[in-house]
Amino acid sequence: MELHYESPAEFWDQAVPLGNGRLGAMVYGAVAREHIQLNEEGLWSGGPQDRVNPDCLDNLEKIRALFRSGQVEEAQRLAVSAMSGTPFTQRAYQTLGDLWIDFFDGAPEKPESYSRGLDLHRAVAWVRYGAGEREYERQYFISRPADCLGLRLTARGGGRLSFTCRLDRSHHIGFTGHAGGDTLVCSGDQNGIGWAMGLKVMASDGAVSAIGARLTVRDATNVTLIFTAKTGIGVNPGKSPSEGLAATVCESLSDVRARYADAGAMLAEHEADFGALFGRVDLRLSDPASRPDLDDLPTDARLRRFAAGEADPGLAALYFQYARYLMISGSRPGGLPLTLQGLWNEEFTPAWDSKYTININLEMNYWPVEVCALPECAEPYFDLLRRVAGSGRDTARRMYGCRGFVAHHNTDIHADTAPQDECLSATYWVMGGAWLSLHIWEHWLFTRDREFLRKNFDILEEAVLFFRDFLQENGKGELVTLPSISPENTFYLPGPGARVKANMCEMPTMDIEILNDLISAYLGAAEELGTGALVGDARKMLSKLPKLQIASDGRLMEWQEEYEEFDPGHRHISHLFGLYPSAQITPEDTPELAAAAKKSLEYRLARGGGYTGWSRAWIILFWARLREGDRAFRDLRALLTDSTFENLMDTHPRKGRPRGRVFQIDGNMGAAAGIAEMLVQSHNGRIRLLPALPTAWPEGEIRGLRVRGGGEVDVSWRDGRLISFRLLAHSPFQGQIVYGDTERRVGLDAGESIKWKAGN
């Protein structure tokens, strides 16, 4: 399974991504002048900051009183001054730099043949071109075991390779030069964060030399370039943060050179490491009526053909596996979680700083990780969450006078929890930490890892403790959040003259849904572990939360009042959180709420909703939970048509950016979760088989999907009907298996499995 193309990348978003969870690269595949853009997960715009506004606590009750008295505009103005972080921005994830390779032999001016691609199973990018008898091949990979990028260049048929290479980071470089005759090194400091990167040449023949800031290779037939980088925060006053990093990089490159007899051994080890994760899940989608040779078409041609309305079930399978490839490449134990752009970013000041937006985007990044059999890849998420809980305790105390921990709608490498920016529609929202914490329970539901639940129970408890102190009773005796917002929406308030735009509100629907799940998860964990200091309080809190409401027009209400929306087609559809990722709203258990959610979704779509990739991905999941397979597929087609670059990366509209769009990885991950959800669902004690299978996928097979309750399933179908099913229990399993109108109770011990075939 691969992406492949017939010409080099012209833009960054046409290049193909590589990564090992720490190092990232985008490979352009140009013949004469190769460009590889580079990332290292720890290179951000600066060190940690204390951004908590010292005036928040003194003004919090004033803000609440202004809101309750109907002076919403004045409350919002005071919030901007008193609640916003100081300074108001967090740190930005930055590009590491670029590797440039300029060929003066071994790059025909007009190759007679050219192809490039990315093998998803092997995690290897490749370029092949030739002229006459001379053939040239490049293989690119980033090895996790070797912790370096490897580039193998080969010439055959009498061809030779001669080139120069250099490393660059624009005007942000502090030092660049060579270390010996075969190694380049660059280093510098970025506002408290030190960095260094190095490149070493390993040639079996030809000549290698270093002059200035360039390495030169002449008349070679087999060359391997190895690259690595390091970052770190300075800890010694008066010393540069980068001090020692350049030497460390050079030592690492020398260690790699000594460790591997040749590049082939390093590549084989890399393929085994990557394949152990990638090979857990296999998806095949087909339609006997579609062309049989679609896998042979270039990926960009397949996208254009699909956008024109042609059938191509295999493209959805490729997109699904590509998301799993990005997850394995971008998020590994011991590292940082995926940012807005995952591991890959070409800019110093990227859109929205390419950090961690936690009013949906970071959470969406990890929606597929459990169901797609990659639980290890969630470890960076949980590591960041624990650091967020640590810094969030201080923020909760100083901003709100509350115990527990809080995080708002963004965080960064330093786990900053103070409000980010001064955007009224997003900033003053206290639910970010609560939403992040829900994945603890989700991981438990999938894995039944009791030790994991025990180790992370304190985070759930502290998240609940914050709301124990923060929630206030309204006039109805209900517990509510105030101030809050419904991300990132705006509504109209009636005024004495013209209508007034507003954002601040009391207990929007999403807050109710998140708190329902958070408190329920805490109580479930406390029961499982036989502990919990807040169990009594949590039960009372749960009983006093407001109920979800249906508006006079039949839609699920987004706020406690039936406000008129400023943007009826808004990209966020936050009030449907209860439909997905939660399972509070289902067609079988809450049919009236499900109908109201469906009406809300139809209303939003009819007014232009889903215009970002991540929003469209969320819509796919909504339709899947509503069992509307053809409507889910229609929005998957829209995502691949309107919100996908040629390299299958997800897009977000962004003015002032190249081609008017910017990469965000959340759409890739959300859509992969949506495809899985169309085929298998496993919430509320039921495993549903083919619950939202579209007519566009009449035949197929999915192997290795994980399900809640602790197991994995294989499902195959033909003519739109189930033909076989297998469930393997990883832990003692009890639940219902549902297919259509058939429901069976299943109980298995760990290691046991059941199989069904058509007619059984």
Torsion angle of the four alpha carbons 547, 552, 554, 556, in this order, in degrees rounded to the nearest 10: -40
- Alpha helices of 69-116 — where are they, by DSSP H? 72-83
Q: What is the pLDDT of residue 759?
A: 60
| Triad 75, 80, 83: Cα angle to 5° | 95
**What does the radius of gyration of the chain's CA atoms come to, in whole angstroms?**
27
**Amino acid letter for position 478:** E
Topology of domain 2-41+97-278, CATH = Beta-galactosidase; Chain A, domain 5 (2.70.98)
Distance CA 164, CA 182 (A): 12
Q: How far apart are the first and last CA of the chain?
A: 33
Instruction: Give every residue of the chain whose pLDDT is below 70, as ranges.
Output: 235-238, 759-760
Residue environment code for 692-704, b if the CB has 16+ CB neighbours within 10 A, otherwise e: bbbebbbbbbbbe
Q: What is the pLDDT of residue 235?
A: 62
- The closest of 12, 43, 30 to 412, measured between CA atoms, is 43
Q: What is the pLDDT of residue 204?
A: 85
Q: What is the pLDDT of residue 322?
A: 98
Q: Where are the domains of the chain?
A: 2-41+97-278, 56-91+314-589+641-674
User: Which SS3 state, helix, strand or coil, does residue 66 take?
Assistant: helix
CATH number of 56-91+314-589+641-674: 1.50.10.10
Distance CA 501, CA 72 (A): 10
Q: What is the pLDDT of residue 46?
A: 94
Q: What is the pLDDT of residue 239?
A: 73
* Half-sphere exposure of residue 733: CA atoms within 13 angstroms, side-chain side: 29
Q: What is the pLDDT of residue 487?
A: 97
Residue reference for tokens 């540069």: 240
Each residue of 418-432: pLDDT tens digit? 999 999 999 999 999
| Cα distances (angstroms) measured from residue 750 to each of 435, 572, 710, 733, 753 | 31, 40, 9, 7, 9
**Amino acid letter for position 602:** E
Each residue of 461-509: pLDDT tens digit? 999 999 999 999 999 999 999 999 999 999 999 877 778 899 999 999 9
Distance CA 666, CA 657 (A): 19
CB atoms within 10 A of CB 458: 12
Q: What is the pLDDT of residue 237?
A: 63
